């Protein structure tokens, strides 16, 4: 079992564009105008088209991927999703550049399974935190 506990990984940057927000909103059946119409988003007080909160999975993946692959290694095919926890900050809008840092918080065994706990912090181009997350994966 590789632990890598405490290991940090290179930050990943993600350019948020309006089309990607719309595609995500469509995929999760989010019909709200603020996710599809920039003018509606501005009238609601956002800088531009706003991303649904769980869009955090999209912009965090490039940072989490290397951490998961490096830590879980050959056990990756046996990995299942264990859970996610988020603390939301500044809304993510079209035109933002999000930089996400990820690290291994903990690796432990319980009931014959290995639990891999990762954390990430994502900030926009203004260095405002947009999402802080804990990601738990389990290898059976």
Q: What is the pLDDT of residues 48-66, one digit of tens each?
A: 999 999 999 999 999 999 9
How many domains are there within the chain? 1
The boundaries of the domain holding residue 111 are: 56-139
* Cβ–Cβ < 8 Å for 107, 80: no
Q: Does residue 78 belong to any structural domain of this protein?
A: yes
As a whole number of angstroms, the distance between CA 91 and CA 130 comes to 6
User: Which pTM does this prediction carry?
Assistant: 0.91
* Cβ–Cβ < 8 Å for 109, 1: yes
Q: Does residue 11 belong to any structural domain of this protein?
A: no
Encoded tokens for 58 = 């999209």
CATH number for the domain harbouring residue 105 = 3.10.129.10
Q: Does residue 14 belong to any structural domain of this protein?
A: no
User: What are the residues whose beta carbons fall under 8 Å from the beta carbon of 8, sequence distance 6 or more?
Assistant: 101, 102, 103
Q: What is the DSSP letter of 115?
A: E
Residues 21-40 have a mean pLDDT of 98
**pLDDT band at residue 4 using 50, 70 and 90 as cut-offs:** confident
Q: Does residue 82 belong to any structural domain of this protein?
A: yes
């Amino acid at each position: 079992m590789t632990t890598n506990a405490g290991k940090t990984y290179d930050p990943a940057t993600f350019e948020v564009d309006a089309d990607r927000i719309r595609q995500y909103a469509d995929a999760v059946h989010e019909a709200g105008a603020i996710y599809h119409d920039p003018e509606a988003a501005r009238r609601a007080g956002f800088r531009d088209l706003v991303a649904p909160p769980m869009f955090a999975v999209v912009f965090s993946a490039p940072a989490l991927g290397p951490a998961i692959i490096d830590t879980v290694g050959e056990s990756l095919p046996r990995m299942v999703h264990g859970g996610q926890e988020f603390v939301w900050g500044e809304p993510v809008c079209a035109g933002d550049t999000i930089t996400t840092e990820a690290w291994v918080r903990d690796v432990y065994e319980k009931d014959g399974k290995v639990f891999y706990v990762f954390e990430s912090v994502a900030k926009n181009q203004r260095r405002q935190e947009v999402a802080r997350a804990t990601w738990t994966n389990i290898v059976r």
